[in-house]
Copies of this chain bind each other. A is one copy, B any other.
């Protein structure tokens, strides 16, 4: 029962979408092909009509996740009204209990960081591109806010701050998740301290 091109494309999107949610929650190793195809409403055998391997899917998922969150980030910066800096707003959203407890729709920098380290290079490639995108966007916003405040900001310094901000956010998030089930108050404390940055 061959499907139309539109149906096939929709199925492919569904696979990437649900794999994206599952990989971010359980890690690439924590989700089987059968799991993820079932969650997309299909059976496991058809997987290879869409992707050459699980690693290739993971790389695509990484790309797609970064693309979406980067888009949201850029939109938030563009729509910023200046009453409160957009970067402060980002920090509060990022280091929230909601984000910690729902990795599936959240930032791939934090949820896929170890998969990028330990899995295939394809995934690391997509991950590194995503991180670079984040840094560029963050550095631009640092510069924009400085300019708006009438200050001068060396581009290298803006970049430096972007790197430290991302490191701090990712570190706080992975730590908060790593103690979340057994030490919830420590986990909250880590998020709180990060927000007071």
Q: Is the interface of A mostly helix, strand, loop or mixed?
A: helix
Tell whether, in the assembled complex, residue A175 and residue B132 are in contact, meaning their CB atoms are under 8 Å apart.
no
Question: For the side of the interface on A, what is the size category?
Answer: 35 or more
Cβ of A163 within 8 Å of any chain B Cβ, yes or no, is yes
Tell whether, in the assembled complex, residue A175 and residue B166 are in contact, meaning their CB atoms are under 8 Å apart.
yes
Specify which chain B residues have a CB less than 8 angstroms from the CB of A112 in the assembled complex. Answer: 178
Cβ of A37 within 8 Å of any chain B Cβ, yes or no, is no
Within residues 110 to 125 of chain A, which ones have a CB less than 8 A from any CB in chain B? 112-114, 116-118, 121, 124-125
Question: Copy number in this complex?
Answer: 2
Tell whether, in the assembled complex, residue A125 and residue B182 are in contact, meaning their CB atoms are under 8 Å apart.
yes
Cβ of A27 within 8 Å of any chain B Cβ, yes or no, is yes
Tell whether, in the assembled complex, residue A181 and residue B131 are in contact, meaning their CB atoms are under 8 Å apart.
no
In the bound complex, what is the Cα–Cα distance between A168 and B116 (angstroms)? 19
Partner-contacting stretch, out of A7-15, A50-58, A183-191: A183-191
Mask for A156-189, Cβ within 8 A of B = 1, else 0?
A: 0001100110111111101101111111001001
Give the 4 A-B residue pairs with the shortest CB-CB distance, closest first: A171-B171, A163-B193, A167-B171, A116-B178
A-B pairs with beta carbons under 8 Å apart, 18 shown: A113-B174, A117-B180, A121-B181, A124-B179, A124-B182, A128-B178, A128-B183, A131-B178, A131-B179, A132-B186, A163-B172, A164-B196, A164-B197, A166-B175, A167-B168, A167-B175, A168-B168, A169-B171
What would 5 more interface pairs be, CB under 8 Å, given A27-B114, A121-B182, A171-B174? A109-B175, A160-B193, A164-B194, A166-B175, A171-B171
